[in-house]
């Protein structure tokens, strides 16, 4: 083994020893980000499943050695932190793909986005050459990833003496030796995908990447590829279903059944810039009390608001 790879192996082993001690800290940060996302999505009436996770140490070891070959080694732990941005993360699985842009707007207003990456068509095939003889016909993983540092006020929430004790313990054992390293620990990757595609991703990840039952055959890859195509069709149908439901609700002008229906209706409207409807649960309760929780009423309010704003343009 070349001397450079010997040094890289030492750096990786040392990082993983520290990562083992720091996992509870990572879990705390991921769970805080998860709670914030759940609150903001619920506030906006977006139906989604939100999960938090910290990278598994064994799969991380494998990924680090693979990445080290591509980038020709790691000089220190900070190199690893800068290269692997998804040590702790949150995944948002949207019930309706139509809500992707609205979810992105929510994340951008709530967090300071350091970087966003759109994983889309053909990327899966292009970035995985030589993995097998079978060439996928459909795009693989599809989703949008956001790297976000938790703001100071977010870190203060649920902050207690136990977390201070953890930080002290990490410092004593060599976990956080520099301010920059501690700051990087607060970076969370938020992944936004459709719920339908999330299910496919979990199966593909366990089967192909973790290879829990040995190497994947060409037939299995072909089936996964076909399922990927079906999820794309499913997402298209979900978008159409969502639009058809909104169109029918608008034409029938029936009262919204819950604040999620209200949220879907508002998400489809061209709201005036800077208009904040506040927590939708409270708005829905108020509209229900005054019996104004119908599409026609809200459309007239939005139109009047838009006209009043345009008067000052």
Closest C-alpha among 298, 225, 301 to residue 265: 298
Model pLDDT, residue 126: 43
Model pLDDT, residue 288: 82
Look at residue 263 and tell me if it is in a domain.
Answer: yes
Residues 306, 94, 128: CA angle, nearest 5 degrees? 120
Model pLDDT, residue 309: 42
> Are 269 and 179 contained in the same domain?
no
Distance in angstroms (rounded) separating the CA atoms of residues 22 and 194: 31
> Are 66 and 191 contained in the same domain?
yes
Rg (CA), the chain: 23
Number of domains into which the chain is organized: 2
Interval 35-49: pLDDT, tens: 999 999 988 889 999
Element (H, E) at 93: strand 88-94
> Are 188 and 285 contained in the same domain?
no
Interval 77-99: pLDDT, tens: 888 888 888 899 999 999 999 89
Look at residue 30 and tell me if it is in a domain.
Answer: yes
Look at residue 8 and tell me if it is in a domain.
Answer: yes
Last residue of a domain, one of 205, 237, 269: 237
Residues in the chain, pLDDT under 70: 1-5, 121-140, 151-185, 209-214, 270-278, 302-313
Model pLDDT, residue 172: 45
Range of the domain at 211: 3-237
Model pLDDT, residue 41: 93
> Are 257 and 223 contained in the same domain?
no
> Are 287 and 147 contained in the same domain?
no
> Are 185 and 271 contained in the same domain?
no
Model pLDDT, residue 186: 72
Model pLDDT, residue 312: 37
């Amino acid at each position: 083994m070349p001397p450079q790879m010997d040094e890289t192996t030492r750096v990786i082993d040392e990082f993983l020893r520290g990562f083992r001690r720091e996992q509870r800290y990572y879990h705390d940060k991921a769970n805080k980000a998860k709670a914030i996302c759940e609150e903001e999505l619920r506030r906006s009436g977006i139906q989604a499943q939100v999960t938090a996770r910290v990278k598994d140490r064994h799969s991380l070891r494998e990924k680090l050695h693979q990445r080290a070959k591509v980038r020709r080694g790691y000089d220190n732990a900070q190199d690893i932190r800068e290269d692997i941005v998804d040590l702790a993360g949150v995944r948002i699985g949207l019930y309706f793909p139509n809500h992707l842009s609205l979810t992105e707007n929510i994340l951008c207003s709530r967090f300071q986005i350091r970087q966003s990456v759109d994983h889309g068509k053909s990327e899966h095939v292009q970035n995985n050459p030589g993995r097998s003889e079978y060439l996928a016909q459909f795009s693989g993983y599809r989703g949008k990833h956001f790297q976000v540092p938790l703001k100071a006020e977010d870190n203060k929430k649920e902050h207690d003496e136990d977390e201070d004790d953890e930080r002290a313990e990490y410092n004593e054992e060599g976990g956080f030796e520099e301010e920059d390293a501690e700051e990087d620990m607060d970076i969370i990757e938020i992944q936004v995908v459709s719920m339908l595609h999330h299910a496919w991703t979990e199966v593909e990840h366990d089967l192909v990447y973790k290879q829990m039952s040995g190497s994947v055959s060409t037939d299995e890859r072909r089936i996964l590829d076909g399922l990927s195509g079906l999820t794309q069709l499913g997402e298209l149908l979900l978008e159409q279903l969502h639009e058809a439901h909104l169109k029918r609700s608008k034409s029938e002008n029936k009262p919204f059944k819950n604040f999620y229906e209200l949220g879907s209706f508002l998400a489809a409207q061209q709201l005036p810039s800077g208009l904040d409807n506040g927590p939708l649960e409270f708005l829905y309760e108020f509209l229900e009390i005054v019996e104004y929780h119908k599409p026609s009423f809200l459309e007239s309010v939005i139109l009047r608001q838009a006209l009043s704003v345009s008067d000052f343009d």
